[in-house]
Structure 1
């Protein structure tokens, strides 16, 4: 099995919590009634994904599975806000799919260059200066910060290549890639030389080039996980065009027609859509061909199926430029590399609202301070700029019995209910 290439990893990510607001009053000689000056807590750092073209594997995620961004600092007196937590940048190879670990839905396809905020940092809590009003001039309370978002995700690497080289092991795919590009894959005369995909940029002429990937050899049963199986079949998913390399030399006693059909059957079993991808058949090792009948049988078979066959010898550099020209011509007429659309829709969390909240009346007699762990989580999952989200939030509070408890404690119409960094006027 491949040990040096990691193309799937599960990680846990958590954004930083918001810092707490502080209770503070301005005290200065000869200045009477300085008033509240407690600063707000800083925002927690977010988890941000960024494409790094210097990375080609997910190897780093084998050794580190948990990523936590720093929290925001608490506020200070003198209306000084706490320092925001620094965003944690996680660098991934281009072409990495981010999936929700629970549902396997695609959250983001990291194929572009824009960074993606996977988990938002918690909002900082308000200091007491934030709560000062003409009727509430001496607020002796502040609010804690809200927790940052967390997520379990699966990272899955699907190489961004225009062209995928497919075929049985040891048919000359790595040699072909090394000849037509500047890639330097490991090449030797034994099966499964290629344990992870190699990419190379193929230059055709000024302004015309494409990316070719040498996909590790597929064997019969790969679609069911045999050999390297699904580990590498997934890398063909994005390729717009497949170059099917077939050994016609007969040096290993193989039947080129049977090999061609076997590989296409594996593609069909893995993905029927993938089996319909355009193909060019490259009959390789023609310079050491023992029986020309092998080539003619293969030609008749593939052309009968509508494919183009080109004769090449990658090792002898014969026919490779013609193959490159044919590939470039077909690519110019094909749609761009597939980019996967997000499938993930965040669902409102199931929050246990049965635990009692801490409710107390402020010194002014008209402000009610409400706090509690589940309320923190509820607020961190609420978009207060969205009407439906606010209605969902109000319904959760009502069903928890909060309003009933406030009425039992004597709240009056027009009183202020203060929930962390959110306030509203109470109306029955």
Structure 2
């Protein structure tokens, strides 16, 4: 083992042994609050766009495209995914060279500014073709931010955890996606109720974007209270940091990036049926279900998602990450056809059952992800590896999942046609789970040095 690797155990042993002093426990609680709050706000910004795009942006920014306006609006939600790898590369370099905390601050700030500007953007009726161009540019900035946010938050959480608790500690930034969805639904629902549908569709849709400014200020304050990762601090003190993290990552662990990405494509593709706006757009347009009712069902599904995210993380600490992935993706594969049949019926009860049952395997396969990714890469290039794997998985699994679902529904005349596409994605992740090495019980000094 080389000098760069031998420097890691000192900090990691401190994390893994015995009951932590009161100061460390207090810091862990701060990490929980900071990663959960910041990631929730980040994803609130990201998902408000997806929901409003599904409902309104086709008419407001792409009305000249006729029947393709809705499909194009959903595509703008997906184009941001192609900027996630760039965000992951930049944040990975910053996080592995200068610390995990700086990534959290920069990504949250970038997301907040770009989201606020969407709320101020004139529509096509006011400034013509410049409106959709600027909209897409702002969505790309959101993609840059999202590409870096997850890795910084997830690795900070996991690197503060004790051995045997990495899954649970890493579950908190994972909860930010469904919790951000719930926050987006509450805010959108509140403004919709206060203003009425006509006013909300005309100008009130801007308010959820502008409200982001308040949330970002709160999130930045919470994150400013968090100490740097002890693992990174030890790397810095021992001068064991990677000089060129991306080059080292691709030359020594490139296949692990692809493997990690493959474990999440099934989750991302299916998850974006809920958070990407497809379910909301489909059932409110094809079956005329009231928008408020569908938002409440999505809210309930997000709550179930949160609960099973923690269950999946806890279970992975007890039985290993691969066991949970195998069970979760098997469950998702089996349930997809009946779930989309229920959606096709268009009843409130059927839609509710479909969304709630979909959230269970989504949570199980999302909860262990932070810990799994941390355990796959050495500490010196961990943030680069985890961020890039997450970004690649997001592109392959979720970039155009809502648009593909919309195209399949239109092409085959039924929403059931979406199920086989998602089943293929779930199968890819399920097969990958059989090739994972479980390191959930290993201490931090040995969990990723191979």
Flag the structure with higher strand content: 1
More helix by share: 2
Task: Say yes or no: TM over 0.5.
Answer: no
TM range (shorter): under 0.3
Please, what TM-score do these two structures have when normalized by structure 2?
0.23
